[in-house]
Chains A and B, each alone.
Chain A
Amino acid sequence: MLRYGLRRAASMLVSLAVASVVIFCAIEVVPGDPAQYMLGLNASPDTVAALRAELGLDQQPVTRYMSWITGMLRGDFGISYTYRTPVAQMVADRLWISLPLALYALILSTAIAFPVGIMAAARRGSVVDMGVIGATQLGIAVPNFWFAMILVVIFAINLGWFSAGGFPGWEGGLLAGIKALTLPAIALALPQASILARVMRSALIDTLGEDFVRTARAKGLSRRQVLWRHALRNALIPVLTIIGLQFSFLLAGAIIIENVFYLPGLGRLVFQAIAARDLIVVESVVMLLVFAVILVTFLVDLAYAWVDPRLRGAR
């Protein structure tokens, strides 16, 4: 297990290094002069030169890359060109909205998908099962940002139960914060819950067809006992993998949903940065999100290998 973990960790580090080079090249090397891009076409050459010096663009790309990476490792993401504040501070502030939102959506998605998937698998072929298949098929087809707009119309505009957007800040109390994130989390969770319910259903159906389930039934256990004691635990392995992978997608998916609800999270930050041509912010946020995705994938791999020892030897 240790050797497998080390191998995966090495692979993760290589992925991170290559990803950082790709992001750095995309933002700083390929398009020409970032200072010119940030200031626009009408900027005077003196202003461009001053910004180039301020951003360190007069140095070699390798030197700039190294200082960017070592800075990030120290927690120094640079200074935002538009806001004139440290990018690390801006990212940290916004992370306190994006991260809880992704976690909230993940909890909701799991809470919906588990009972629905189990119910459908336990009553395979019944009206309930057909209903679940139809509903999840629809859930996957609905764009989450459109669903978010419908939720706003129903629960914010017509019923007035939630606000249509914005975030009061965690200083306003935990409950107020959670309330503000509820509609965005539901919108984010719907497609993920549909996917997860389908995975849960098919994994459980596969497990219920295994020999050990038949043996347990032959021993005299009822269908319900077999389902809860034996089948469910074994069906959880693929489901847990999907949950892990979904977290990365939720973090990236939150970028769009934050725009629907005007939540001041990482997503809003990155779009504001694009509009203001604040490339340093875009670079840092994208790197951070890619880091999150790679880290979660690594943890999922480890968890999977821990649960299923056969995978440790696999390539």
Chain B
Amino acid sequence: MRALVLGGLLAAVFVAAAAVSFVWTPGDVTAVDIANRLQPPGGSYPLGTDHFGRDLVSMVMVGARVSIAVALVAVGIGMGLGVPLGLAAAATRGSWLDEVIMRGNDLVFAFPALLIAILITAVFGPSALNAIIAIGIFNVPVFARVTRGAALSLWTREFILAARVAGKGRIRISVEHILPNVANLLIVQGTIQFSLGILAEAGLSYVGLGAQPPTPSWGRMLAEAQTMISFAPHLALVPGLSIVLMVLGLNLMGDGLRDLLDPRVRKARA
């Protein structure tokens, strides 16, 4: 429970910062202010400024927006496609459909998110949208597997048998009975994939495959900081620590949620 609260608080700080950045930031993230470039943290710039004189608090706030949006939509894509596929595979266990879905999953697993992003970028050029698609595609088999695994054990339960006897079809049973019972697991997995998405987005932006200038992103802030790290370490510390704290918060939240929602873990602890 402590992990859930601590993790939730950490994540909430960044989500709130991202939300506030839509209406207000302390400075303009696109304005150049050479007179105040590379200011160390303190005074009117609590986290300092970058090589263009942009306020790092504002950059982190807008960067959080990009990271969260990319990771969230990618989780949405993963869930939106993966969950129905997992439900269908479980409902038709052993059939050709199950086989095709699971082998398709194996295939997507062979393309780590970075490789998908490289392929997409090679074809369409780098953008935040391509990062979303790459991370989203990578999420699909994860959700399909989790859903199928959990749904398979549910299909042998008596309440499902009762629903079948009552004349309900496979699709209706999957939607009305299986889905609500795997929802907890999906929430936990969603939190984990969300944190992995933040890391993946940062990695893709770092190598220039994510959001493009002038939109600030944590990964690109790190890439820009690399050549100046010896004389302006705050440029690398600020976005780096933001990623660590956000991911740590989400991971703690995931652990806490699993303890709270997953009956197997609850039972093991009791």
Question: A276-294: which residues lie under 8 A (CB-CB) from chain B?
Answer: 279, 282, 286, 289-290, 293-294
Task: Mark interface residues in A136-176 (1 if CB within 8 Å of B CB, else 0).
Answer: 01101111011001101100010000000000000000000
Question: B235-253: which residues lie under 8 A (CB-CB) from chain A?
Answer: 236, 240, 243-245, 247-248, 251-252
A221 at interface by CB-CB < 8 Å: no
Interface residue from A152, A259, A294 paired with B110 (Cβ < 8 Å):
A294
Q: How far is the CA of A142 from the CA of B243 in the complex (A)?
A: 7
Check B244 against A26 for contact (C-beta < 8 Å): no
Known: A143-B240, A149-B236, A256-B207. A14 touches B251 (CB 8 A): no
Check B119 against A23 for contact (C-beta < 8 Å): yes
Question: B210-256: which residues lie under 8 A (CB-CB) from chain A?
Answer: 222, 225-226, 229-230, 233, 236, 240, 243-245, 247-248, 251-252
Q: Which A-chain residue is minimally distant from B113 (CB atoms)?
A: A252
Check A149 against B112 for contact (C-beta < 8 Å): no
Q: Which B-chain residue is minimally distant from A270 (CB atoms)?
A: B118
Residues of A within 8 A of B226 (CB): 149, 260
Check A141 against B122 for contact (C-beta < 8 Å): no
Question: B106-140: which residues lie under 8 A (CB-CB) from chain A?
Answer: 106-107, 109-112, 114-115, 118-124
Question: Is the interface on chain A under 10, 10 to 19, 20 to 34, or 35 or more residues?
Answer: 35 or more
Known: A30-B123, A140-B251, A290-B110. A153 touches B233 (CB 8 A): yes
- Nearest-neighbour CB distance to chain A for B95, whole angstroms, equals 12
Residues of A within 8 A of B121 (CB): 274
Q: How far is the CA of A157 from the CA of B245 in the complex (A)?
A: 26
Q: How far is the CA of A255 from the CA of B233 in the complex (A)?
A: 24
Q: Which B-chain residue is minimally distant from A315 (CB atoms)?
A: B94
Residues of B within 8 A of A249 (CB): 112
- Nearest-neighbour CB distance to chain B for A78, whole angstroms, equals 15
Q: How far is the CA of A294 from the CA of B110 in the complex (A)?
A: 6
Q: Which B-chain residue is minimally distant from A32 (CB atoms)?
A: B123
Question: A3-31: which residues lie under 8 A (CB-CB) from chain B?
Answer: 11, 14-15, 18-19, 22-23, 26-27, 30-31
Interface size on B, residues (CB 8 A): 39
Q: How far is the CA of A22 from the CA of B229 in the complex (A)?
A: 40
B203 at interface by CB-CB < 8 Å: yes
Check A274 against B122 for contact (C-beta < 8 Å): yes
Task: Mark interface residues in B183-210 (1 if CB within 8 Å of A CB, else 0).
Answer: 0000000000001000100110011100
Known: A141-B248, A141-B251, A289-B115. A152 touches B229 (CB 8 A): yes
Known: A15-B107, A279-B122. A256 touches B229 (CB 8 A): no
* Total A-B pairs, Cβ < 8 A: 117
A248 at interface by CB-CB < 8 Å: yes
- Nearest-neighbour CB distance to chain A for B204, whole angstroms, equals 9
Known: A140-B251, A252-B114, A256-B114. A149 touches B240 (CB 8 A): yes
Interface residue from B112, B118, B207, B248 paired with A259 (Cβ < 8 Å):
B207
Residues of A within 8 A of B252 (CB): 137
Question: B77-113: which residues lie under 8 A (CB-CB) from chain A?
Answer: 94, 103, 106-107, 109-112
Known: A256-B203, A289-B115. A141 touches B230 (CB 8 A): no
Residues of A within 8 A of B247 (CB): 140-141, 143
A271 at interface by CB-CB < 8 Å: yes
Known: A137-B252, A141-B244. A26 touches B236 (CB 8 A): no
Known: A146-B236, A252-B112. 9 other contacts (CB 8 A): A141-B244, A141-B248, A145-B206, A146-B222, A149-B236, A150-B240, A153-B229, A255-B118, A286-B119
Taking Cβ atoms with an 8 Å cutoff, the residues of B that contact A are 94, 103, 106-107, 109-112, 114-115, 118-124, 195, 199, 202-203, 206-208, 222, 225-226, 229-230, 233, 236, 240, 243-245, 247-248, 251-252
- 13 A–B pairs (Cβ distance < 8 Å), ordered by A: A18-B107, A19-B111, A27-B122, A140-B251, A145-B222, A146-B202, A146-B240, A149-B225, A249-B112, A271-B208, A290-B115, A297-B106, A297-B109
